[in-house]
Amino acid sequence: MNEVHNPYAPGAGIQPPELTGRDNFLERAETTIKRAVQGMFSKSFIAVGLRGVGKTVLLNRVRDIAKEQNCKVAMLEAHDDKDFPSLIAPAIRRILLDLDRMETISEHVKLSLRAFRSFIRSVKITYKDLEFSLGVDPEIGVADSGDLEVDLPELFVSIGKAAKSRGKVIVIILDELQYLSEKEMSALVMAMHKVVQEQLPIVLMGAGLPLLVGKMGESKSYAERLFEFPKIGALDYTDASSAIVEPARRQNVNFHETALMKIFDLTEGYPYFLQEWAYVCWNVAIGPIIDEGDVEKSTPRVITRLDESFFRVRFDRLTPREKQYLRAMAELGSGPHRSGDIADKLKVPSNKLGPCRSSLITKGMIFSPSYGDTAFTVPLFDQYLKRAMVFSPWNDSE
Ligand SMILES: Nc1ncnc2c1ncn2[C@@H]1O[C@H](COP(=O)(O)OP(=O)(O)O)[C@@H](O)[C@H]1O
Ligand SMILES: [Mg+2]
C-alpha cells in the first residue's frame, strides 16, 4: 500500500495516530491541572516505565492540557551530561519575564526575578545573556547559598508566589528524570515539598525509567507523599489491537485477527514495537486487508529497523565490558536476573561487577526492580543482544 498514507508513527516522542490504554492516566493528569487552576492541591505525577512505552507522548499530551488551561508551561528533558539548574534556568527565565510583562507591576514577580538572578549566579550558570537581560539586581540571601537543596526550594517558592500574584499556574514537565543526580532529585523533591506547604501554584509532571525511584534516596518518603508514580507499561491485547486497527480503519484498511495476534505475540504489546510492525506491514501489504502473511513478510524488515535505531543508539555508547555484562544477562533470558547468576555466567566474583553494574544503571540500560535483581530498561533487549553479539565470559587480563 502507499507509504504516503501510512498512518503509523514509529519514533521516540512521536504522537501515535491512536493513543490507547492511557485514558486513566490522562484523566488524572487533567484533574490535577484543573484542580491547581482552582487553587486546590493534588499530587503531582511521575510516570515510570521502560523505554518505548509512551511516556514522552503522554507528557506531550499533558503539555497540551496545561496550555488549554492557560498555565505557564516549562517542558524539559534531562540529559546525563547536563546539570539540572542549566536545564531549568532558561524556562524559568522565560516564565518570569512573561509574568513580568503583564499589565500591572507585581512586587512578587520583581522579587522572583531577583531571586532567579541570585540563583543563576550561585549555581554558576555562565550564560551571560541569561543574567544580564533580566534588568534586575540579585536578591542577596535568597537562593544563593550554593547548595541546590536550599536554593532550588527558595527559587520555587519565589516563582510560585510570582505566579500566584498573577493568578497563574506553572506546570513543570520533566522527561528522562532518571538522569538527574541524587542531589538534584532531592533538591527537586524539597522544592515541591515547600511549594505544597505554602500552597503555591506549581505542578510537576515527570517521567522516567524505573531506576529514578531508587535515586530518590532520603527524599523518598517526602516524594511518596507529594507524587504519584503511575506505572506505564505494555498495552493489553485489546488496547494494542485498537492502536493498530483504528488508524487503518479510517482509511478503509483492515487487519485480520490472526495478523493482530501475531503482532501482539512479537511485540508483547509494547507501543514502540506496535508502531514499527504496523508501519512496515502497511508498506508491505497489498491491502485492503492485512493478514498474517504480511506480518511474516514484515518481521525481518522491522527487526533490521529496530536494530539500527531503537536498540542501537544506546548500545553504541557502551564499553566492551558493559556490552558483555548485558550479553550475559541476555544469555540468562529476558530477566530480571540475580546478580550472582550474572557473575556466574561471566565467570567472575560478584563483587568485581559492582562498578560495571552502576555505570550501566547511570547510562539508563538496566535497573534494579528489587534488591539484588537486575533488569533491562529496554523491552526485548535480550533478543537484540543475541542478534548483535556473541557471548563470552569476561577475560580477567583485559
Ligand atoms: N498508548 C499508545 N498507543 C499506541 N502507540 C503508542 C502509545 N504510546 C506511545 N506510542 C508510540 O510508541 C512510541 C514510543 O513512545 P515514546 O513516548 O517515545 O516512549 P517513551 O518516552 O516511553 O520511550 C512512539 O512511536 C509512539 O507513537
Ligand atoms: Mg521518552
pLDDT tens for 103-148 read 788 889 999 999 998 898 877 665 555 655 677 788 888 888 888 9
Q: What is the distance in A from the centroid of ligand 2 to the CA of 78?
A: 11
Nearest atom, ligand 1, residue 11 CA: 25
Q: Is the CB of 54 under 6 A from ligand 1?
A: yes
Q: What is the DSSP string of 30-74?
A: HHHHHHHHTT----EEEEE--TTSSHHHHHHHHHHHHHHTT-EEE
- Taking CA atoms only, the protein residue closest to ligand 1 atom 17 is 54
Percent of the chain with pLDDT over 70: 97
359 pLDDT tier (thresholds 50, 70, 90)? very high
Only one residue has cell 525511584, namely 213
C-alpha grid cell, residue 314: 544506546
Rounded distance, CA 356 to CA 349, Å?
Answer: 13
Number of CB atoms found within 10 A of residue 100's CB: 18
Cα-based distances in Å from 95 to 75, 130, 292: 11, 13, 52
Strands, sheet with 337-338, edge to edge from the N-terminal-most edge strand: 337-338, 373-376, 366-367
The answer to whether 271 and 382 have CB atoms below 8 angstroms apart is no
291 pLDDT tier (thresholds 50, 70, 90)? very high
Spell out the domain ranges in the chain.
3-12+235-314, 23-228, 317-388
Strands, sheet with 170-175, edge to edge from the N-terminal-most edge strand: 72-77, 170-175, 202-208, 44-48, 227-228
pLDDT tens for residues 246-276? 999 999 999 999 999 999 999 999 999 999 9
Which is higher by pLDDT, 6 or 213?
6
**What is 3-12+235-314's CATH topology?**
Helicase, Ruva Protein; domain 3 (1.10.8)
Q: Is the CB of 272 under 6 A from ligand 1?
A: yes
Q: What is the distance in A from the centroid of ligand 1 to the CA of 33?
A: 22
Determine the average pLDDT of the residues in 68-90: 93
Give the three-class secondary structure for 256.
Answer: coil
- Per the CATH hierarchy, to which homologous superfamily does domain 23-228 belong? P-loop containing nucleotide triphosphate hydrolases (3.40.50.300)
CATH architecture, range 317-388? Orthogonal Bundle (1.10)
CA angle in degrees (0–180, nearest 5) for 376-380-383: 105
**Ligand in nearest proximity to the CA of 279:** 1
pLDDT tens for residues 159-204? 999 999 999 999 999 999 999 998 999 999 999 999 999 999 999 9
The answer to whether 74 and 188 have CB atoms below 8 angstroms apart is no
396 pLDDT tier (thresholds 50, 70, 90)? low
> pLDDT value at position 102?
78
> pLDDT value at position 131?
59
- Taking CA atoms only, the protein residue closest to ligand 1 atom 16 is 54
pLDDT tens for residues 213-244? 878 777 778 888 889 999 999 999 999 999 99
- Checking if the pLDDT of 22 tops 60, the result is yes
**DSSP conformation class of 100:** H
Model confidence, pTM: 0.92
Rounded distance, CA 179 to CA 79, Å?
Answer: 6
Q: What is the distance in A from the centroid of ligand 1 to the CA of 16?
A: 7
> pLDDT value at position 126?
59
The answer to whether 36 and 203 have CB atoms below 8 angstroms apart is yes
**Segment among 78-87, 136-145, 202-211 with least mean pLDDT:** 136-145
Q: Phi and psi for 205 in degrees, rounded to 5?
A: -125, 110
Rounded distance, CA 321 to CA 326, Å?
Answer: 9
Give the three-class secondary structure for 173.
Answer: strand
Largest CA distance in the chain: 71
Determine the average pLDDT of the residues in 52-78: 97
Q: What is the distance in A from the centroid of ligand 2 to the CA of 56?
A: 4
Q: What is the distance in A from the centroid of ligand 1 to the CA of 280?
A: 16
Q: Phi and psi for 263 in degrees, rounded to 5?
A: -65, -40
